[in-house]
């Protein structure tokens, strides 16, 4: 009996050690951090709008230049609990003003906090992991120019077992990857750019791709729509075989520019915030997004 108990304790210890190793938060290596390029704040503003930073992190109902005050506070009520967008302004106490570029890069690419724990994937690092290091540096440089806010944001309200953040390391093993989702010709600059925006920087799939019971995206039904993470809102299929199959590339460009659809309607809800962002991008970027969306294959049945 003693031997059995000892063997069981050894197995538990081995399992705990393996769990700890597998769930270690990811980080950039020292070599990668040393090789990070210098950032350009002017170029960073385009990254800022393409990345949709203000849609989640600006104070709810803010408008105009106030959208650049990343005070946080927006709530997302999901099946896993209530998530609140944090203050990511330059305030040193309530925001990220005391971060360095390494902390910012590890958060964006790996969902790792400066303290070495996991961020919840309500933060779309599963898309941002595809960002280039140049864009990361540019975004960081631009965010240094934005105003500070001392707004205090309440912590997430997440129950057991989802409040055990270390377990998110296992979730990341399944769903955190920088591999492209759609194969596009390497010599087609427009499709390559469109893939970068849709799959990465603009993280369209975070809302428009259905998710399973543990919140993982079903990439076999890429951009096929589904139930919204919060509430009962239906998020549309934006692939060419879906709800907007009859839309042309120019129709998509127009929606991303003005919010007006070919049916003489206008987008609403959170998509209106997306249009606020995409309207500030170069037209070539909106055209690249449209070209990519028209190239998406039908989902696996």
| C-alpha–C-alpha distance, residues 141 and 135, integer Å | 10
Burial label, 260 (beta-carbon count in 10 A; 0-12, 13-18, 19+): middle
Q: What is the DSSP string of 20-69?
A: HHHTPPP---HHHHHTPPPP-HHHHHHHHHHTTHHHHHSPTT--GGGGG-
Cα distances (Å, whole numbers) of residue 226 to 3, 120, 208: 52, 21, 7
Cβ 163 vs Cβ 95: under 8 Å: no
Q: Model pTM? A: 0.91
Q: How many C-beta atoms lie closer than 10 Å to residue 238's C-beta?
A: 24
28 closest CA partner among 124, 133, 182, 117: 133
Q: Is 162 helix (H, G, I), strand (E, B) or coil?
A: coil
Q: What's the confidence (pLDDT) of residue 294?
A: 93
Q: What's the confidence (pLDDT) of residue 301?
A: 44
| C-alpha–C-alpha distance, residues 295 and 239, integer Å | 8
Q: What's the confidence (pLDDT) of residue 300?
A: 52
Cα distances (Å, whole numbers) of residue 162 to 2, 169, 299: 35, 12, 30
Token pair recorded at residue 65: 């230049």
Cα 225 to its chain centre, rounded Å, is: 16
Q: What's the confidence (pLDDT) of residue 230?
A: 59
Token pair recorded at residue 59: 């104070």
| C-alpha–C-alpha distance, residues 223 and 246, integer Å | 16
71 closest CA partner among 86, 81, 82, 61: 86
Q: What's the confidence (pLDDT) of residue 160?
A: 86
Cα 38 to its chain centre, rounded Å, is: 23
Q: What's the confidence (pLDDT) of residue 16?
A: 60
Cβ 168 vs Cβ 176: under 8 Å: no
Q: What is the pLDDT along the chain (301 residues), one digit of tens a residue?
A: 666 676 666 666 666 666 567 778 989 999 999 999 999 999 999 999 999 999 999 988 888 888 999 999 999 888 889 999 999 999 999 999 999 999 999 999 999 999 999 999 999 999 999 999 999 999 999 999 999 999 999 999 998 888 889 889 999 999 999 999 999 999 999 999 999 999 999 999 999 999 998 889 999 899 988 777 655 678 888 888 777 788 999 999 999 999 988 888 888 778 888 999 999 999 999 999 999 999 998 765 4
| C-alpha–C-alpha distance, residues 292 and 206, integer Å | 16
């Amino acid at each position: 009996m003693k031997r059995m108990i000892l063997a069981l304790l050894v197995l538990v210890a081995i399992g705990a050690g393996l769990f700890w190793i597998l769930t270690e938060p990811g980080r950039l290596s020292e070599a990668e951090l040393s090789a990070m390029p210098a950032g350009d704040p002017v170029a960073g503003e385009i990254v800022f709008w393409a990345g949709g930073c203000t849609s989640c992190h600006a104070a709810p109902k803010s408008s105009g230049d106030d959208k650049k005050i990343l005070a946080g506070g927006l709530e997302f009520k999901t099946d896993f609990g209530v998530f609140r967008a944090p203050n990511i302004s330059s305030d040193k106490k309530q925001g990220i003003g005391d971060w360095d570029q390494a902390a910012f890069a590890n958060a964006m690419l790996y969902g790792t906090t400066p303290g070495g724990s996991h961020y919840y994937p309500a933060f779309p690092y599963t898309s941002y992991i595809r960002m280039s290091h140049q864009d990361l540096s540019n975004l960081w440089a631009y965010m240094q120019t934005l105003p500070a806010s001392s707004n205090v944001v309440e912590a997430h309200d997440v129950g057991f077992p989802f409040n055990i953040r270390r377990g998110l390391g296992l979730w990341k093993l399944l769903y955190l990857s920088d591999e492209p989702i759609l194969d596009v010709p390497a010599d087609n600059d427009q499709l390559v750019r469109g893939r970068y925006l849709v799959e990465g920087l603009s993280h369209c799939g975070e809302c428009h791709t259905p998710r399973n019971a543990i919140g993982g995206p079903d990439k076999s039904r890429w951009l096929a729509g589904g139930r919204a993470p919060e509430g009962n809102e239906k998020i549309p299929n934006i692939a060419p075989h879906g709800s907007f199959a009859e839309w042309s590339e120019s129709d998509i460009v127009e929606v991303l520019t003005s919010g007006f659809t070919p049916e003489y309607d206008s987008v609403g809800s959170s998509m209106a915030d997306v249009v606020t962002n995409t309207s500030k991008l170069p037209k070539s970027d909106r055209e690249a997004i449209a070209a990519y969306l028209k190239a998406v294959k039908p989902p696996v049945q």
